Structure 1
Amino acid sequence: MRTVHEKADTIPLIAEVFRELGYEGATFSRITARTGLSKGSLYHFFPGGKEEMAAAVLAHIQDWFERRIFTPLAQEEPALALDAMWQAVEAYFHGGGRVCIVGVFALDETRDRFATAIHAYFTRWMDALAEALGHAGLSEERARAQAEMIVGGIQGGLVLARALNEPAVFVRTLAQLRAAVDAEWPASGMV
């Protein structure tokens, strides 16, 4: 068994189990087996059980994206923030080799249980992107449409890469999305 002293140390371990097995497939016995954490440790850190673990994982993901992607998109120079977003997204999802837990949770009956967190994640991402694209000179309507296309494309690229067992599909999808966004910039004067 693995020794863990802080609750925060358990969250990335548990996240990988949810990422691989989904919420329903991540039984307590599978979580203990795959993380090396004892049931006692898990109950100590998460007395609310698996639902509390999943909520902690979603909060952890939201925090990571807030610090690395959402806040920079909303506050930094658009070209730099978008460039950083493409790089962070590719790294976070391991170049298409890692699925989005929030997306996985959104696709099954788990969605209703964590609807607020799932909605907040996707809404915040699209809002931050639309804000950056607006600062780059796109109209509010066009910025919103582009943000939706980007987030949808990223999620779709992850699903397709997983379905085909070909992570390079995700990398190509990111490149195509980036090119589509970059093509908008001459019209906005941001080249």
Structure 2
Amino acid sequence: MPKQTYIPCLLNLLRQYGYDGATLSKISQATGLGKASLYHHFPGGKDEMVEAVLNYLESWLDQNILQTLESPGEPLSRLRQMCDHVDEVYDGGKQPCLSAILLLGSARDVFHDKVKAIYQVWIDAIANVLIESGMNEGLALRRAEDAVTAIQGSLIVSQGLDDPSVFVRLMQHLPENLCKGTLP
């Protein structure tokens, strides 16, 4: 099977155990591949596996978030669609954010630049929608940064409290809060 077949499994393992805890033994057991087969598909080892997962998430972001935000239509509607997609990928706040996990421990030095780029693209896309809705550039950028911060923070708090309603509540009100004072 192509290595893309194993990406969802790897994503779930990384979400569950983190970079350091997702050992090759756990990966082998979850994928059903022996260690030799893992290295056949991912010669760079675990770092290449994580890179493949990040590429998958980057592609998902492009297809589900960026294309939604860049599509024609009313800004508030596009922001609502973005929140629907974010809600879907995090299973209503039940799944932790992989990028936050990869910014901890030994993975930070390896994956920081990639994670940073993903966040920046997302922030810029939100800011562009807000600018289009009539908001000045500086305020749009601050609100976009606050939005991504709130999303990531609500995921952490939801995980910590074992209560995804924190995330769900944020996602329900985020589009309107972003646009306050900009739409007719």
What TM-score comes out, normalization by structure 2 length? 0.93
Which residue is equivalent to 2:29? 33
Aligned counterpart for 1:14 among listed residues 3, 7, 10: 10
Aligned counterpart for 2:47 among listed residues 38, 46, 51: 51
Q: Trace 1:40-189 onto structure 2 (pairs within 5 A).
A: 40-77=36-73, 78-182=75-179, 184=180, 187-188=181-182
* Mapped contact 1:97–1:167 kept (Cα < 8 A): yes
Distance, in Å, in 1 between the alignment partners of 2:124 and 2:156 is 22
Gaps of 5+ in 1: none
Query: How far is 1:116 from its partner?
Result: 1.7
Distance, in Å, in 2 between the alignment partners of 1:142 and 1:112 is 31
Superposed CA offset, 1:44-80 (max 9, x none): 1101100100111011101100111023213433233
**Structure 1, 172-181 or 89-98: larger mean CA deviation:** 172-181
- Corresponding letter in the other structure for 1:16: N
- Corresponding letter in the other structure for 1:109: S
Aligned counterpart for 2:20 among listed residues 2, 8, 24: 24
Instruction: Give the secondary-structure state (helix, strand or coil) at the position aligned to 2:105.
Output: coil
Query: How far is 1:142 from its partner?
Result: 1.1
RMSD: 1.4
* Mapped contact 1:133–1:143 kept (Cα < 8 A): yes
* Mapped contact 1:74–1:129 kept (Cα < 8 A): no
Instruction: Give the secondary-structure state (helix, strand or coil) at the position aligned to 1:23.
Output: helix
Structure 1 moving runs of 4+ over 4 Å: none
Identity of matched residues, %:
36
Query: How far is 1:42 from its partner?
Result: 1.4
Tell me which of the two structures has the higher relative contact order, counting C-alpha pairs closer than 8 angstroms and 6 or more residues apart.
Answer: 2
Gaps of 5+ in 2: none
* Mapped contact 2:76–2:176 kept (Cα < 8 A): no
Instruction: Give the secondary-structure state (helix, strand or coil) at the position aligned to 1:114.
Output: helix
Query: How far is 1:37 from its partner?
Result: 2.8
Distance, in Å, in 2 between the alignment partners of 1:168 and 1:46 is 37
Total equivalences in the alignment? 183
Query: How far is 1:114 from its partner?
Result: 0.9
- Corresponding letter in the other structure for 1:99: P
Instruction: Give the secondary-structure state (helix, strand or coil) at the position aligned to 2:5.
Output: helix
Query: How far is 1:169 from its partner?
Result: 1.4
